[in-house]
Structure 1
Amino acid sequence: MDENTPTPVTVIGLGLMGQALAGAFLRAGHPTTVWNRTAGKADGLVAEGARAAATVGDALAAGSLTVICVTDYHAVHETLGASGVELGGTRLINLTSGDSGQARETARWAEARGARYLDGAIMAIPSTVGTPDAVILQSGARSDFDAHEPALGALGTVTYLGADHGLASLYDAAGLVMMWSVLNAWLQGTALLRTAGVDAGTYAPFARHIAAGVADWLPGYAEQIDRGSFPAEVSALETDARAMAHLIEESEAVGVNAELPRLIKAMADRAIAAGHGKEQYPVLIEEFGRPGTR
């Protein structure tokens, strides 16, 4: 389909994110039908030109593409599996947050009912939807993605990950752990420096410089992980572990919580005990890859 051809779109679920999705489709010129369990949430979108469907079945029939974004995967099944709802022939994109197992199971469930299904994740806050800053992850059949890509472009930067329906959820989780890990590291450093009267605003530019520098290491470290070989080209893990011990000591000395550096050092200590002390930091992938704690 030509990217300039309007696509009739249905959006099911009008929480803050669902409203942002529907609004982006409207602004891009796509005829947009909306449905929400609480009908009043559609009023603002109707004022902008959307059509409010009376039922889920009516909403599905109105669009050549249906996007659902609700509370969780249970709500997806409850909404689309309700009596009288026919999924046969529906082109369905699920942008509800969940885990990879739920995504794969829902793909099987939807396809068994005749739907063409893509699973996805939104790496954005509602206010950025419709801009390049909103990253929309998609996984499922490539042919289905290709058919929907022009319309999905209204939502932001659309990225296809592969045929496995669980990939979008896994990338979403991987992105979240990066976000929280960077923020937690910054908060640990901020807490340390505040004990000496340095405010967060003063520390932030230095922290940003360090974070950018570490990000530059990732391609080379990824090569080590993929090869399964971890020569200490920069620093050996046992050297890093000594620095971790200093961080714990400094945190305790100035009265700052040391749980995060203790956790990291505990993982490093296990790797060193297993004989990896002379190898480089990415060898810790073996610890991160283990289920649970020992």
Structure 2
Amino acid sequence: MDRSGTTPAPLPQESAAPYPAADDVARLVLHGTDQSGIVAAITEVLARFEGNIVSLDQHTSDPVGGRFFQRTVFTLPDLAANLDCLRGALESRLDGFGLEWQLIEVKKRKRVAVFVSKSDHCLLDLLWRQRRGELPIDITMVISNHPDLSEDVRPFGIPYFYIPADKENRAEAEARQLELIDGNVDLIVLARYMQIITEEFIEQAGVPIINIHHSFLPAFIGAAPYRKAKERGVKLIGATAHYVTKDLDEGPIISQDVIHVTHRESVADLQRRGADVERRVLSHAVEAHCADRVLRDGNVTIVF
């Protein structure tokens, strides 16, 4: 528990570290209009293939005509050999329900590119958690608009690309970034990357982008947020991890947390304690996304 009395929300048991190879484990995630028979259809197919359900989470926005969301984790003997047949059986059985669904092998970790500027706390936390097996990810590269953190990344054996970026050369920098990530990543994480991401980059990247914001949105946006918080005499500081959209910091929220502060904390104290929250919230959001626990309903997320 934080000394403020705020306890971070625990992660579900299924996603606890370390992450095994899980050769015969898969996830089925789906969403669509709520209607009778969806769960029965899925369990029927899995039973036919001798699959064993490990966990099943579901949510409906309204039992009458609402949106339905489900995440099922299951084991299945010789999964790799049976995957195509299972996918075909699900496609046939679920035809007519109008669902969007994905069948995912757990052993195939998401490939992640981390974008960073000069602040190292979120970047190093992600690298450390990956090395310890606490995140189901493979960080394939670190991209920065400053060279400062290259020596910090070197011991992890991950490529570090320094690409100067500012408002004067943004198009050129983004073109180089897109070359690097093309076909090589499943997710981009902005770990305190202090540059605007353009709508063109979001569209061409073609993968989800997660950002960490140093406040409970939309408060204290822009430069020097902790100085602004101190000047306002705030009693709570927090962090928000969200998907990046063309509307900047208005994308769907994945994870948030806060801690209590008092007038006694200096700006430096707020920055230090805020960095702790940012690390925790960002790693929670990355874990949730890469474990396929986040489903989107417009600008709202369902996080199982």
Q: Same fold (TM over 0.5)?
A: no
Specify which structure has the higher proportion of helix.
Answer: 1
Q: Which fold has the larger relative contact order, with Cα–Cα distance below 8 Å and residues 6 or more apart in sequence?
A: 2
TM class by shorter chain equals 0.3 to 0.5
Specify which structure has the higher proportion of strand.
Answer: 2
